[in-house]
Chain A
Amino acid sequence: MLLNEFLLLGAVLFAIGVYGVIARKNAVLVLMSIELILNSVNINLLAFALRNGGDPTGHTFALYIIAVAAAEVGVGLALVLLVYRNKRSIALDELSEMKG
């Protein structure tokens, strides 16, 4: 197995996630794209962990990233619910009150 197989898969998923963050208007779909980005990072971490002869550090940080992603989704969806309750819409381009 080449190291680049996994790194290139991570790069493709990262680019797709970035496209989703830019192109999507629905806030829930933007959060899903962020999950794609975080998963691509985890694949990279674990590929490098195996390449370093089974280094548990990579596994540790992959687990930390999973925990941070769970916290991020919890807070993110609470924010989305709050925005929906106030504006009856979760289209991100309508949230322009703070524009100068």
Chain B
Amino acid sequence: MLAASGLVAQNVAFGMVALMMIVGAIRVVTTKNVVHAALWLVVVLAGAAAQYLILSAEFVAITQVLVYIGAVTVLFLFGTMLTRAQLGKSTDLNNKNWALGIPVALLLLGTLVYVLVDSFHADKVIDDPKSVPVVTTQQISDSIFRPYLIPFWALSFVLLAALIGAIVLARKD
């Protein structure tokens, strides 16, 4: 399978990064320390950026690094700092019936895996390894500002509302 697809380096990189992401994600939801969870989340987000690079989506990968790793993680660390006095281990991070989440997640995963394997048995991302399609930033901006301009405006209003809402909610008076 690996040699047949002709993209051995990409497959090896995918496997290593995917393993790192899954381990990081499991640590995010199981660790006993909120700060460690935020730092494991950085591992998952950086792995996602690497996957975007493997999928030849450079602009989205850079945006992921800037927005998620640069801003969202800092926001999470601030949230942790402002809502908890102690930063060490704590024992009350899980619900009483947290074990209920395991069968739900496994059921969901089983359904998704069955559906995906059934639908896309051996579909390839790239048919011809010689000509990998490239999406330029110009194409992305053309797509944003031509066919998807209305969602872009809606998104601008969402961001404005989120900005004002966050200030109104967090203001002390």
Q: Which residues on the B side are within 8 Å of A68 (C-beta)?
A: 155, 158
Contact with A along B138-173 (1 / 0, CB 8 A): 011011100110011001001101110111011010
Q: Are A15 and B108 in contact (CB under 8 A)?
A: yes
Q: Which residues on the A side are within 8 Å of B152 (C-beta)?
A: 64
Known: A13-B44, A49-B57, A79-B169. A36 touches B125 (CB 8 A): no
Rounded to whole Å, the gap between the CB of B68 and the closest CB of chain A is 7
Q: Are B26 and A16 in contact (CB under 8 A)?
A: yes
Of A54, A59, A68, most B-chain CB atoms within 10 Å? A59
Q: Are A70 and B57 in contact (CB under 8 A)?
A: no
Known: A13-B21, A75-B166, A78-B165. A19 touches B44 (CB 8 A): no
Query: What count of chain A residues pass the 8 Å CB interface test?
Result: 74
Query: What count of chain B residues pass the 8 Å CB interface test?
Result: 92
Q: Which residues on the B side are within 8 Å of A11 (C-beta)?
A: 109, 112-113, 116
Q: Which residues on the A side are within 8 Å of B48 (C-beta)?
A: 39, 42-43
A68 to B172, CA, bound (A): 26
Rounded to whole Å, the gap between the CB of A87 and the closest CB of chain B is 11
Known: A2-B120, A12-B109. 14 other contacts (CB 8 A): A1-B5, A9-B21, A25-B92, A33-B28, A35-B45, A46-B57, A46-B60, A50-B55, A54-B139, A59-B57, A71-B161, A73-B75, A77-B166, A81-B79
Interface of A with B (CB < 8 Å)? 1-9, 11-29, 31-33, 35-36, 39, 42-43, 46-47, 49-51, 53-57, 59-64, 66-75, 77-82, 84-85, 90-93
